[in-house]
Structure formats: C-alpha cells, structure tokens
C-alpha cells in the first residue's frame, strides 16, 4: 500500500493492533474493524447534564443510556435479611424509573463496603441529573436498573460523581460533555469512548488533504476533527469535527466521480448519427401512440450525445410507467442504424424476458433480420440468460459475435468472458444499482471503443443521492405519464379484521368477472414448516389457500424467483395472454412487468415493504385503459409503537408522486439501506453523511472535486490518490442496496 499517506495508512490499521484482539472482537457487531472505522464512529449526540430521556420510550430488556433527573433518594432495608440498598428514583418529568445500589456484603472489609455505600448515598443526595448506562429490568410494573454505570451532575451541571468502579467514566466527562455512541450490549458507550481516545493517541497529526482543499472547504484539520469529536471541550466542538469528517466522505466520493467523468470525456466512442431512413424512422412511423413531450426532449438529448466522439454517460430516471423503455429502445435502434450493436442488461431473468417480449412486440416485424438482398429494415433481437439451454446459449452467442444480433437483451450471463460482440456501441443498464463497478467495466471492455452508456431507474432519486451515487452520470428525468393511463387508487386494509380481508378477495373476484386480472404479492416464497408466528403464508401456501377458499374456481398461477426459467416464462406468458386470472407472486414482478389487463393488486404484509418498493409494485396495475386498485394489507397490533410504519403506508395511499415518496423513503430508511457500509481498506462508504440532511456538504465537495481534477488531472496528489483508490474498492452494489 505504498500509495497511502500516513493518515490513510493509520486509518487502515486493524483495530486489534491498537486495542488487542479481545477488544477488537467486541467492535465487530458495530462493523468496526480498523482504526479509521473507530474514529469515524462518532457520538450520535452529547449529553450536557440538562437533557432528559423520555422514559416512556425505554423498554425492559434493553441496554440503554438514560438521562434523567434525580427525584428521590432513599435507603431501604430488607425485613428478612437486613440487607440495605440505595433506591434512586429518576424522572423525566412524567414517568419514573428506579435505580438500585445494594450495600456490598464484604465481611472481610466492612470499612470499604461502608465507604462505597456512603459514597453512593452522599453523591446521589446532592445530584440533580445524571446519565445511567445499563440493562433495564421491571419489578411490579416499574422500570428498574440495578447497579448501572453512571455520571451525575449538580443543579449547575457540574460533575459531582461517577461510578467508582471504572475511572473511564470520569474521563468521559472531560469538558463537561458525555458522548453517546451507537453502542451495543457488550460495548457500552463509555467503553467506545475510551477505545476511541486510545486510537486517537496513536494517530498521526498529518492531514491527508492538501492545504488548499482544507481552506476551500472551510474545515479544521483531520486530527483536530477527531479531537473535537472524541474529546469535545464545548458544545460546538463535536459538530465542527463531524462536519470535517462528513466532508471527507463526500469529497472522496465526489473526487472519484469527477475523475471518472474526466476519464470518460477523454475516451473515444463510436459516433452514432441518427438516420432518416433506417430502423428508428420505421419504428417511429409505426408507433400506435404519440410520445410525450418529456420522452421527445430526453430522446433529443440522448441523440445529441450519441453523435459525439466521446461516450455518453446518462442516467434516465422516471416515474413508474413513464415510458423509459421506449426512450431506450429508440436509442438502441439509432445505434443499429449506425452499424453498431446495442445491449440491454437487466438484473433478473424475469425482467430480461419481460424486456425481450416488450421490445419485440413494439418492434413487430422490425425485430426480424432482413433476408439476403432485401432492403427491408430489421435486425435480430437476441436474449441470453443463465438458465437457457446450452444450445440456445451457443446460438445466441454466435449471433452476438457475428453482429447478426443488432439488439441483445440479457442478464449477468452477458458478462461471461466467452461472450464477444462484433461492434458494441451502446449499453443500456436497467436498475443499475444492482450491478457493480467491475460488472459494468466487464461489459464495457467487450467494445473496441468505450461504449455509450444509458442507465435506467424506475426509482426516483433525490438530487443529493444522484450526486453521491450517480455522480459520474448526467441525469434526465421523465415525470409525465403517457396519455390513456388509468388512475390507481390505493387503500389500506386492516388484515386483523376478517371482514376486511373477505372484502379484499371479493374485489378480486369482481374484477375477474369483468374480464380483468389481479396480482397477489407476498414478501416470501415461504415454507409452512418453518414459518414464524409473526409471518403470514408464503406464495405457495397462500395460493393453495385461495384456490380452496375465497378464490375457488378462478385460475390461479404462482411465480417466484426459485422457479426454473422456462416455468417462469410460461407463467408470465399465460398471465399476459389472459390464461391466468390471479397471479400469486413474490416481488419478482416489482419492475418492468407490463400486463395492461391487470387492474387489482393485493400486497400481503405490506408493512414489511419499503416506500419505493410498494410504489414500484403498485406500478404494475393501471397500465391500460382500466382504473387500478392497490390493496395494502397489514396487521399492526400496536400502531402507537409503529408510527413510522403507519406513516409509510398512509403516504403510499395518499400520493402517486414517486419523487415525493422517494424523499420519504430516504428519510425513513436512512442510508443504512440505501448506502452500504462495507469496510474496505482504511475507509468505508458513507458512514456519516445523510444525503438529505447534508446535501450542502455534498454540493461543496463536488465543487472542490472539480477544481481538484482541473489542478491535478492525472491524480498524482497522494491524498487524492488515496481517496479515489479507497472509494473504488466499494462496488455500486454495495453503495446502493436495491
């Protein structure tokens, strides 16, 4: 690792080398493996001796750090044993919790025992507030904590006592602030603080970034930032330090993206000029509908970029059903007209086959290669997936290699080293977040020149996320839905009420009687023998129950990811052709499935799905002329404890604006589900940035990253090289969990 600066080398140091193997193992539950991981594990907040915890939010069995006021102090004695204990009643102004300290029974050292008990009694008698760390129990319906680790303060907020069993608590309060870290049962907050300080003492006081970057960002030095975060002397210290660390994360990502953009701009690409007499013109002439203004505008932007000698790198995001596939297909036809090949890669076989059927249906006879000597426009459209037979794979591979297949559709199977292209000019990636950097590079390397890249996503992306995750791509957005699309009504169904569920199944039957079709979505395939009590039936079990019960007599099909490819295709074909009335399925139909006759969708255990996923699922209905109905079924036994879940489901029911829902999704899920946290070298992905809260930091980092690339186009600055190499260790599939 010669490319590391001293700071990055220190960050990459395994925790065991600084803290010892036993202490390092305790941090594994927090995904902390290196010194860098530990130093960026910053406190969630700082306790100043004045805030109070809402005791109503504390549950028995939890390991917690409670901040509370001392309401009462009392020495009690057991009538049976005569043993004494100190009872301290804590309050948040509404509820109470009892903290107990038992008189130590140390027969050989009664003076020591008495002194400890007296120490507790004296301190708590003077205490006004305190922080208490331990496991919460319950006795006679009263919250209780026995012998917690603690720090206590007087009425002026001055430290007056700590748990004498461990000097770390006293050190923790230096400067009058107590850091509350994201602790675990085996690793309390005070222990994390102690370890962070040990690691900081070994860390070099050398900034990995050039001085001009630090000044332009308006941040403190890196070592000073760690000091401020883990040894704050004032209320502002922690935030000033955290800002620098957030900037570091944002800058590393933005710098990597900036170098990628610069590299792409210097690459040679196949020039794709639109023709007036080719496949594209023939396709446009036979379209049975008019393109939306948005589709036309985005297409013009794409055609302009395809005509340039440098590779296009564009992300096309759009509402569910906004017509991204048509835009992508027109670009692919333009590539074929220019003598190049176009490939569309999908993350699943179901989606790949759906794309194949959709594209060949839209193209009609244009999806047939012209006969020898014929001037009739057309091209072969081939599909290649992992589950095809050996003969089918070989034949598809030959058509791709010879150039006969102008349009290729497939899955990860296309990344196989044995698959070669005659003249690959355009790569379309659907749901790009499911493909890693190496996988995208593998398909790009199959082209003589750098191919143009068009990325599609049906998940609307807030600008701050787009800058972070898709920062190497230009972004286009489709908001307008094609005319003729029916409305979709969304209704929440209380699954705990039999009458509501009976009505749900009746609605499906009513739709089928009118010639329509329905989806029933389950969160799992399910095995009745291993089903948990909290789980509903899976796809297979539910399909059988419906066939024997409320949907008896209807034609019911089953679809899930573990079915053989041929069976999946057969089921989808039967559903699309109307041979199946009700498709009981997992989320394999979440994206891309287009059956205009499907008008009702029932989502079982809807509370187990995220906002974006429910929005995507709902997008499978109402795609034709008939209105759609989405019924979200959920059994939430204690709604007051599941406020976030209720808000999520209510938001889905209230709006079909995917961009509005995307913001809510990000707020609720946080980046833990959106942005990965894999440890790679000295740095991980985004541990500190919250892309909605810190959009200003990301924008500032992007601006400075552009200046950095202009100053150092070859990435020779050690700190820049460190940031880029560390960031590139993390693939896109780890950046975004789709």
Residue recorded with tokens 């019911």: 556
Residue 689 within a domain: no
Residues 492 and 474 in one domain: no
pLDDT score recorded for residue 685: 55
Do the domain assignments include residue 1?
no
Looking at 606, 640, 661, the residue that finishes a domain is 661
Residue 89 counted as domain residue: yes
Question: Could you tell me if residue 246 is inside a domain?
Answer: no
As a three-state string, the secondary structure of 587-603 is HHHCCCCCCCCEEEEEE
Axis-axis angle for helices 718-728, 235-265 (nearest 10): 80
pTM comes to 0.68
Beta bridge partners of residue 520, listed in sequence order: 584, 602
User: In this structure, what DSSP letter does residue 34 have?
Assistant: B
**41 lies in a domain?**
no
For residue 23, is it within any domain?
no
Residue closest to 502 by CA, chosen among 534, 544, 549: 549
- Number of neighbouring beta carbons within 10 Å of residue 138: 11
Residue 541 near residue 603 (C-beta atoms within 8 A): no
* Separation between Cα atoms, residue 570 and residue 564, nearest integer Å: 10
**274 vs 340, 426, 463, 474, 665, CA distance in Å?**
12, 14, 31, 21, 39
Half-sphere exposure of 313 (CA within 13 A, CB side): 21
Contact, 387 vs 564, CB < 8 A? Answer: yes
**Domain assignment of residue 231, yes or no:** no
What is the token pair recorded at 39? 């130093």
CATH code for the domain of 93: 2.40.50.140
Same domain, 565 and 607: yes
Contact 39, 208 (CB under 8 A): no
Residue 113 in domain: yes
Q: Are residues 387 and 498 in the same domain?
A: no
Same domain, 308 and 395: yes
Evaluated on CA atoms 704, 710, 713, 717, the torsion sign reads negative
Give me the residues of the chain with pLDDT under 70, please: 1-4, 47-51, 105-114, 163-176, 184-185, 372-374, 432-441, 460-471, 484-485, 528, 590-592, 637-642, 665-686, 728-738
What's the domain range around 618?
488-661
Verify that 509 and 620 share a domain, yes or no: yes
Name 476's bridge partners. 316
- Predicted confidence at residue 591, as pLDDT, reads 64
**Contact between residue 506 and residue 500 where contact means Cβ atoms under 8 Å apart:** no
Question: Residues 576, 611: one domain?
Answer: yes
Whether residue 226 contacts residue 38, with contact meaning beta carbons closer than 8 Å, is answered with no
Do 383 and 468 sit in the same domain of this protein? Answer: yes
Pairing relationship of beta strands 142-146 and 149-153 according to DSSP bridges: unpaired
Say whether both 528 and 629 belong to one domain: yes
How far apart CA 291 and CA 296 sit, in angstroms, is: 6
How crowded is the C-beta side of 540, counted as CA atoms within 13 Å? Answer: 10
The number of distinct structural domains making up the chain is: 3
Same domain for 434 and 547, yes or no, is no
Domain boundary residue among 661, 684, 710?
661
Give the end of a domain, one of 129, 163, 197.
Answer: 163
d(CA 495, CA 224): 54
Task: Write a three-state SS string for 368-437.
Answer: CCCCCCCCCCCCEEEEECCCCCHHHHHHHHHHHHHCCEEEEEECHHHHCCCCCCCCEEEEEEECHHHCCH
Is the distance from CB of 393 to CB of 565 less than 8 angstroms?
Answer: no
CATH label of the domain that carries residue 353 = 3.40.50.300
Query: Does 515 lie in the same domain as 405?
Result: no
My answer on whether 442 and 530 are in the same domain is no
For residue 459, how many other CB atoms are within 10 A of its CB?
A: 21
Domain check: are 440 and 293 in the same one? yes
């Amino acid at each position: 690792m010669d490319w590391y600066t001293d700071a990055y080398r220190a960050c990459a140091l395994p925790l065991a080398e600084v803290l010892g193997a036993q202490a390092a193992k305790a941090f594994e539950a927090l995904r902390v493996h290196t010194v860098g991981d530990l130093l960026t594990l910053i406190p969630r907040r700082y306790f100043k001796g004045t805030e109070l915890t809402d005791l109503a939010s504390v549950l028995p069995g939890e390991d917690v750090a409670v901040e509370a006021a001392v309401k009462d102090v009392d020495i009690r004695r057991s009538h049976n044993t005569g043993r004494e204990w100190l009872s301290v009643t804590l309050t948040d102004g509404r509820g109470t919790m009892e903290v107990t300290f038992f008189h130590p029974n140390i027969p050989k050292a009664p003076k020591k025992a008495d002194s400890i008990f007296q120490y507790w009694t004296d301190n708590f008698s003077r205490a006004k507030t305190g922080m208490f760390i331990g496991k919460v129990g319950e006795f006679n319906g009263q919250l209780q904590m026995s012998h917690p680790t603690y720090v206590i303060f007087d009425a002026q907020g001055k430290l007056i006592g700590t748990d004498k069993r461990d000097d770390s608590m006293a050190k923790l309060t230096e400067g009058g602030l107590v850091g509350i870290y994201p602790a675990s049962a085996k690793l309390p907050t005070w222990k994390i603080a102690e370890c962070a300080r040990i690691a900081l003492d070994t860390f070099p006081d050398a900034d990995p970034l050039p001085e001009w970057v630090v000044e332009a960002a308006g941040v403190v030095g890196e070592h000073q930032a760690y000091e401020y975060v883990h040894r704050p002397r004032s209320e502002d210290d922690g935030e000033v330090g955290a800002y620098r660390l957030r900037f570091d994360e944002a800058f590393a990502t933005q710098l990597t993206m900036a170098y990628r953009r610069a590299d792409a701009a210097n690459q040679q690409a196949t020039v794709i000029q639109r023709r007036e007499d080719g496949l594209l013109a023939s396709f446009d002439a036979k379209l049975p509908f008019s393109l939306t203004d948005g589709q036309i505008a985005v297409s013009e932007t794409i055609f302009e970029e395809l005509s340039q000698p440098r590779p296009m790198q564009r992300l096309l995001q759009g509402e569910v059903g906004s017509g991204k596939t048509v835009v992508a297909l027109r670009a692919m036809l333009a590539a074929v007209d220019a003598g190049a090949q176009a490939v569309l890669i999908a993350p699943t076989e179901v989606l790949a086959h759906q794309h194949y059927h959709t594209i060949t249906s839209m193209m009609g006879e244009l999806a047939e290669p012209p006969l020898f000597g014929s001037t009739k426009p057309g091209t072969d459209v081939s599909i290649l997936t992992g589950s095809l037979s050996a003969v089918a794979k070989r034949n598809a591979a030959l058509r791709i290699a010879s150039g006969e297949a102008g349009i290729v559709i497939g899955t990860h199977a296309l990344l196989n080293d044995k698959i070669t292209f005659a003249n690959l000019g355009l790569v379309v990636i659907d749901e790009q977040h499911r493909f890693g950097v190496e996988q995208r590079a593998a398909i790009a390397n199959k082209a003589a020149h750098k191919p143009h890249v068009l990325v599609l996503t049906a998940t609307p992306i807030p600008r701050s996320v787009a800058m972070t995750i898709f920062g190497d791509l230009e972004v286009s957005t489709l908001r307008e839905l094609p005319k003729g699309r029916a409305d979709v009504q969304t209704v929440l169904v209380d699954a705990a009420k039999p009458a509501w569920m009976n009505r749900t199944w009746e609605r499906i039957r009513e739709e089928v009687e009118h010639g329509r079709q329905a989806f029933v979505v389950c969160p799992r395939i399910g095995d009745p023998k291993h089903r948990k009590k909290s789980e509903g039936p899976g796809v297979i079990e539910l399909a059988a129950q419906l066939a024997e019960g409320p949907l008896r007599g209807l034609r019911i099909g089953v679809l899930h990811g573990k079915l053989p490819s041929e069976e999946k295709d057969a089921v989808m074909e039967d559903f699309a052709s109307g041979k199946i009335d009700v498709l009981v399925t997992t989320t394999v139909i979440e994206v891309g499935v287009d059956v205009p006759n499907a008008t009702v969708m029932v989502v079982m255990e809807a509370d187990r799905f995220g906002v974006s996923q429910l929005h995507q699922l709902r997008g499978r209905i109402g795609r034709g002329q008939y209105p759609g109905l989405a019924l979200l079924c959920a059994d939430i036994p204690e709604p007051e404890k599941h406020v976030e879940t209720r808000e999520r489901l209510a938001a889905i029911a209230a709006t079909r604006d995917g961009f509005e829902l995307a913001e809510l999704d990000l707020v609720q899920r946080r980046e833990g589900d959106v942005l990965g946290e894999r440890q790679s070298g000295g740095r991980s992905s985004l541990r500190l940035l919250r892309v909605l809260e810190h959009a200003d930091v990301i924008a500032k980092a992007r601006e400075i990253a552009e200046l950095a690339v202009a100053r150092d186009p070859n990435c020779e600055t050690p700190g820049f090289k460190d940031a880029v190499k560390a960031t590139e260790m993390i693939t896109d599939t780890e950046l975004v969990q789709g």
